Amino acid sequence: MKRLLAALLSVLMFVSLCACSGNKDKGEEASDRTTVSKIAVVLPGSITDESWNQSAYEGLMDIKKAGYETAYTENVDVSNAESVVRSYCSEGYDFVIAHGAQYGQAVCNVAPDYNNVNFFITGNAPEDIAEADLPKNIMFADYRECEGAYVSGVLAALMTKSGKVGYIGGGNNTTQQSDKNAFIEGVRSVSADVEISTVITGTFDDSNLGYETAKAMNEAGVDVILQTCDHTGLGALQYCSEKGVYCIGYTSDQSSLVNGDIMLTSMMIDIPFMISSQIDAIKAGNYGGQTFPGLHDGVVSMSKFSPEVSEEVAAKVNAVIESISKGDLVITPNYSEN
């Protein structure tokens, strides 16, 4: 029995080796990158997080409805990203989306080996690679999430009664760091006296930690909280909902997740659109480089203000949104960690 199993396994191994070598001779020949048929997405978290990953999944589903073949992998660590991306490429996927700035390096390693594949990264290019050295078949959407965070900061500073506002982040990528810094900048633009406490939880999955963090903040007097950390953030929202603490949602309109009108607004990122619109961009040719979508083209937007926000405050915040979209006020992403 054991021998039979061993024989079967070795046959299987041989076959799979053949299969591997069969794919090798693609490479250079076709560098026509204006067609797309099979699309894969690599996600850092799970598609039920009501947030970052779920919205990418929804974008992918829009693509699927349009008749393309799609696939996705959830919960991919940065350390595994390269092998996941590589295996999609070798399976014939001709458009691979890596959903997060943290995957930049991995994709930059893979991209030169697959000239006929287009890549998309939802985030900025790795800072340690010179712009000229970036592989030409990667599009970096360095979308200005920080513009939304800045606006949230302005709103939080205008709404706080205790003079203390808080930010809860998940950490470990540049988007999150720029969110935090822009939030602080936004608060400071309104008042130099408002105290800001920031917590980086280090995880996007631990709702209980999010709950405890929001509680600790509230106990320290914080009365408006912005969270940008998916599942961890859901825990924070749960606390806010229980205690009636003002909060600001993330990526989609999350106001249905809390009781009453305590969710002032949500900073929404139209990830579904950002992803599904790439297909047209590929077909237009010359795909690659960097784009900086933001408030001005609707990729970043704020959801409808809650009735708790007075008209006067709303007018002030809308003025800020307007001047950012017009380009009068430029929010530069600041990736410094502390």
Dihedral pair phi/psi, residue 264, rounded to 5°? -65, -45
Interface with another protein, residue 333, by CB under 8 A: no
Q: Examine residue 303 and tell whether it contacts another protein (CB under 8 A).
A: no
**Number of residues this chain uses to bind another protein (CB under 8 A):** 42
Q: Rounded distance, CA 75 to CA 81, Å?
A: 10
CB atoms closer than 10 angstroms to residue 126: 19
- Cα–Cα distance between 246 and 71 in angstroms, integer? 38
**List 41, 125, 155, 257, residue binding another protein (CB under 8 A):** 257
CA distance 298 to 294: 6
Rounded least distance, CB 151 to another protein, Å: 23
Residue 44 contacts residue 100 (beta carbons within 8 Å) = yes
| Alpha carbons 154 and 222: distance in angstroms, whole number | 15
Among 62, 212, 253, 261, binds another protein (CB under 8 A): 212
Nearest CB to another protein, comparing residues 166 and 288: 166
Q: How far apart are CA 228 and CA 102, in angstroms?
A: 16
Answer for which of 102, 118, 122, 213 binds another protein (CB under 8 A) is 213
10 vs 208 by CB, closer to another protein: 208
Strands laid side by side in the 138-141 sheet: 69-73, 38-42, 95-98, 118-121, 138-141, 289-291
Other beta carbons within 10 Å of 328: 8
DSSP 110-156: HGGG-TT-EEEESSPPPTTS-GGGS-TTEEEE---HHHHHHHHHHHH
* Least spacing, CB of residue 49 vs another protein, in Å: 7
Nearer to another protein, 16 or 338 (CB): 338
In the block, residue with structure tokens 């709404």: 159
Residue 79 or 338 having the CB closest to another protein: 338
Q: Which two tokens stand for residue 242?
A: 């229980």
The closest of 112, 116, 35 to 279, measured between CA atoms, is 35
By CB under 8 A, tell whether 217 contacts another protein: yes
Nearest approach, Cβ of residue 46 and another protein (Å) = 4
Which of residues 216 and 313 has its CB atom nearest to another protein in the complex?
216
Residue list 169-208, contact with another protein (CB under 8 A): 171, 196-203, 205-208
Q: Which residue, 39 or 237, is less far from another protein as judged by CB? A: 237
- State which residue, 89 or 168, has the beta carbon closest to another protein: 168
Among 101, 222, 269, 299, binds another protein (CB under 8 A): 222
Told to check if 310 binds another protein by CB under 8 A, we report: no
CB of 213 to another protein, least distance (A): 5
Task: From 128, 125, 130, select the one nearest 104 (Cα to Cα).
Answer: 125
Minimum CB separation from another protein for residue 238, in Å?
Answer: 5
Pairing label, strands 164-169, 195-200: parallel
Using CB under 8 A as the binding rule, the residues of this chain from 260 to 279 that contact another protein are none
Per-residue interface string for the shown chain with another protein, residues 29-68, x marking contact by CB under 8 A = -----------------xxxxx---x--x-----------
Note the residues at the interface with another protein (CB under 8 A). 46-50, 54, 57, 75, 166, 171, 196-203, 205-209, 211-213, 215-217, 219-220, 222, 231, 234-235, 238-239, 241, 256-257, 337-338
